[in-house]
């Protein structure tokens, strides 16, 4: 008499893409909860040093949770989506997702390094250069994330609600990216719209990919 062993079915949330997607949002929430100062994007070096004085630990923690750890999350989710798209014959966008996603991740990591350096500086000149660099890189990263969203939607692997989210994200994050790239505070505030859309898109994509891997 033969017996058959049935392997337990994994939950769609207990997979690397899903866990990473959820961790991405949790990391951002943690970063925004540390209470670090947030000067306007066009602030000068003296204003930045004054704002960050006595808050070095909080500023460092914020850069870790909003740029450092999310860099890894972006790379994992985008590469997982590219791999899934590559396995499906005729699916486009796999290379675009990988290139844009990893590119955004690299920019995010550079921002983390610059941000940690910024947190420890007391020189207005150095602070101005670092703060300016972090913000302009944010603008470039946002445009790269828009490209990633468009490429992800083009794979055809995402459900309709997530495709709509991706399109909305692409539009909103390019707009906010212009504000950061050109250091225009009023336009940069559009990040309050594009930010939540980004969290929803990355986390949702991770969970969808996790369910496909069950």
Q: Check pLDDT > 70 for residue 1.
A: no
pLDDT (0 to 100) of residue 6: 43
Q: Check pLDDT > 50 for residue 200.
A: yes
3-state secondary structure of 39: coil
CB atoms within 10 A of CB 132: 17
Q: Comparing C-alpha atoms, which of 21, 9, 14, 11 is closest to residue 158?
A: 21
pTM of the complete model = 0.91
d(CA 135, CA 60): 16
Q: Comparing C-alpha atoms, which of 188, 204, 178 is closest to residue 41?
A: 188
Q: What percent of the chain has pLDDT over 70?
A: 91
Taking only the tens place, the pLDDT of each residue in 30-87 is 999 999 999 999 999 999 999 999 999 999 999 999 999 999 999 999 999 999 998 8
Handedness of CA 180, 62, 195, 138 (dihedral sign): positive
Q: How confident is the model at residue 99 (pLDDT cuts 50, 70, 90)?
A: very high
pLDDT (0 to 100) of residue 7: 44
pLDDT (0 to 100) of residue 171: 98
Tell me the pLDDT of the chain averaged across its residues.
93
Taking only the tens place, the pLDDT of each residue in 110-168 is 999 999 999 999 999 999 999 999 999 999 999 999 999 999 999 999 999 999 999 99
């Amino acid at each position: 008499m033969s017996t058959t062993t049935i392997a337990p079915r994994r939950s769609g949330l207990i997979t690397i893409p899903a866990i990473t997607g959820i961790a991405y949002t949790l990391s951002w929430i943690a970063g925004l909860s540390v209470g670090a100062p947030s000067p306007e994007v066009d602030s000068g070096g003296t204003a930045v040093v004054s704002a960050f004085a006595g808050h070095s630990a909080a500023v460092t923690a914020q850069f870790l949770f909003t740029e450092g750890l999310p860099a890894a999350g972006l790379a994992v989710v985008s590469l997982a989506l590219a791999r899934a798209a590559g396995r499906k014959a005729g699916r486009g966008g796999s290379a675009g997702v990988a290139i844009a996603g990893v590119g955004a991740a690299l920019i995010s990591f550079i921002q983390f390094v610059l941000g940690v350096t910024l947190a420890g500086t007391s020189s207005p000149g150095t602070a101005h250069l670092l703060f300016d660099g972090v913000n302009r890189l944010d603008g470039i990263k946002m445009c790269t994330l828009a490209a990633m969203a468009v490429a992800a939607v083009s794979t055809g692997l995402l459900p309709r609600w997530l495709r709509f989210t991706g399109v909305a994200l692409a539009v909103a994050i390019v707009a906010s990216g212009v504000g950061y790239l050109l250091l225009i505070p009023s336009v940069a505030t559009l990040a309050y719209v594009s930010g939540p859309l980004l969290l929803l898109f990355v986390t949702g994509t991770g969970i969808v990919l996790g369910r496909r891997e069950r």
